[in-house]
Structure formats: C-alpha cells, structure tokens
C-alpha cells in the first residue's frame, strides 16, 4: 500500500470515528431527553438536559438549534421506536385485519395511570400541537412510520377483498389522525383509552368497508 493510500485509510478511519462520536452524543442527548420528559414533561432546561446527558451545553447546541428542535426529535424518535415495537409484537399475526386491528388499538396506547406514562401522554399532547405550528412539515415526516404501518395493512386487506377502501393511503392518514385525537382526549380525561379501543377498531373497520364480526 502506498503512503497516499495509507493516508486515505487513516482519514477514512478518522471520519468513521468522528461519525461514531457524533451518533453517540446525539443518542445520549435523546435518551436523556426521554428520561426527563417521562419525569417532568417539557419542564426542564437545556442546562438540565446537558447535565443528564453528560455533555457540555455547547455540544447540545451543536446538534440542536433550540429546545423545540430537540422536542421534535424526541417525538419523532419515540414514534419510530413505538412502530418498531408494534411491528415486532405483531410478528405472529398473518391476517391483515388482525394486524390492522392490533396496530390501531396498540397505537392508542392502552394508557394506564402510571405517573410516568401519564406525564408522557400529556407531554405528547401539549407539545405536538404547539410544535405543529412551528414544524408542520417535520411533524408530518415524524408521523410517516405510523401512517405507513397502517397503510400497508389496509392495502393488504383491500387486496384480499376484506375491505373496500379505494384510497388506502388517504384512509391510513385519516385513521392515524383519528387515533391521535382519541389519544389526546384521554391524556387529560378521566378513565383510560382501553375503554374505547374495541369501539375505535369497529368504527375504523366499518369506515374501510369491512364487516364487524
């Protein structure tokens, strides 16, 4: 190997190490933010976050222009993780309607009165609508994994003749928006969303032209 090639390899290794360090720092910041959100919603400062993540405040601002930008990343990260967990949990379900029912009811969360989960639900509700005014496009992109999850099963059910949806992608978007509305309602209302999960499923199935058995 020539010296020029050796230098190129060294630069490549250095770039890889730098990229790995950046990814680790961002992950540490997001993990710290998730912990703080579960404990106190968005009532934390960037100084508290930096301390929790074990990074300098300047490091935080290297990756996030503002606290709101961080909260957007927290919502996006949390939703992507929830979709991965739901996909894994539904691995044994082969019928598209069974999978669709699971994704719709699971996305409602079955929210309990556990203090940390309750605080998280209220954070999502309050922060989502506030950020929507500032980052509408970015929030739509954050919602995409759930819309895609629902859309895949609606399309599979339509292909199998189980529903009569003529615009599967638009129907998936409407279902996600309806699910969000119900989730938001129960973040502050008495009772739990588990009380209406089956009703929600029946409503969506009828709307898609399916038959409730």
Q: pLDDT digits over 82-99, tens only?
A: 999 999 999 999 999 999
Q: What is the CATH number of the domain that holds 158?
A: 1.10.357.10
SS3 211: coil
- 112-115 contacts at long range (C-beta below 8 A, 24 or more positions apart): 112/192, 113/192
**For position 86, what pLDDT does the model report?**
94
Residue ending a domain, choose from 64, 96, 113? 64
Same domain, 46 and 107: no
**For position 2, what pLDDT does the model report?**
45
Longest dimension (CA), the chain: 72
Give the CA distances from residue 212 to residues 63, 97, 173, in Å, rounded to whole numbers and listed in that order. 49, 11, 21
Instruction: Specify the number of domains making up the chain.
Output: 2
Same domain, 70 and 14: no
Of 82, 132, 125, which is closest to residue 107 (Cα–Cα)?
A: 82
DSSP output for 29-43 = HHHHHHHHHHHHTT-
Residue ending a domain, choose from 13, 30, 64? 64
**For position 110, what pLDDT does the model report?**
52
Residue ending a domain, choose from 64, 85, 109? 64
Same domain, 59 and 81: no
pTM metric for this prediction: 0.81
pLDDT under 50 in the chain at which residues? 2, 4-5, 7-9, 111-112
Same domain, 56 and 77: no
* Cα–Cα distance, 61 to 47 (Å, whole number): 11
**For position 111, what pLDDT does the model report?**
47
Same domain, 154 and 108: yes
Same domain, 137 and 54: no
SS3 content of the chain, % helix, strand, coil (to 5): 80, 0, 20
Same domain, 18 and 122: no
**For position 29, what pLDDT does the model report?**
93
- 48-57 contacts at long range (C-beta below 8 A, 24 or more positions apart): 53/25, 53/28, 53/29, 54/28, 55/25, 55/28, 55/29
CB 144 within 8 A of CB 119: no
Same domain, 100 and 203: yes
Same domain, 125 and 154: yes
Q: What is the CATH number of the domain that holds 8?
A: 1.10.10.60
**Domain enclosing residue 168, as ranges:** 66-213
Same domain, 143 and 83: yes
**For position 188, what pLDDT does the model report?**
73
Same domain, 49 and 76: no
């Amino acid at each position: 190997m020539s010296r020029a090639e050796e230098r190129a390899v060294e630069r490549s290794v250095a770039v890889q190490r730098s990229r790995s360090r950046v990814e680790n720092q961002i992950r540490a910041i997001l993990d710290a933010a998730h912990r703080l959100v579960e404990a106190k919603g968005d009532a934390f400062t960037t100084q508290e976050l930096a301390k929790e993540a074990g990074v300098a405040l300047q490091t935080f601002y290297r990756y996030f222009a503002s606290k709101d930008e961080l909260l957007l990343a927290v919502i996006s990260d949390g939703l992507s993780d929830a979709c991965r967990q739901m996909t894994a949990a539904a691995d044994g379900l082969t019928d598209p309607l069974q999978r669709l029912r699971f994704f719709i009811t699971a996305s409602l969360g079955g929210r309990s009165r556990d203090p940390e989960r309750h605080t998280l639900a209220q954070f999502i509700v309050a922060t989502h609508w506030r950020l929507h005014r500032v980052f509408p496009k970015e929030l739509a992109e954050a919602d995409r994994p759930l819309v895609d999850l629902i859309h895949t099963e609606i399309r599979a059910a339509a292909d199998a003749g189980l529903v009569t949806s003529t615009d599967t992608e638009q129907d998936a978007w409407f279902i996600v928006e309806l699910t969000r509305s119900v989730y938001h309602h129960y973040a502050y209302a008495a009772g739990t969303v588990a009380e209406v999960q089956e009703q929600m499923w029946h409503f969506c199935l009828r709307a898609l032209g399916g038959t409730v058995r």
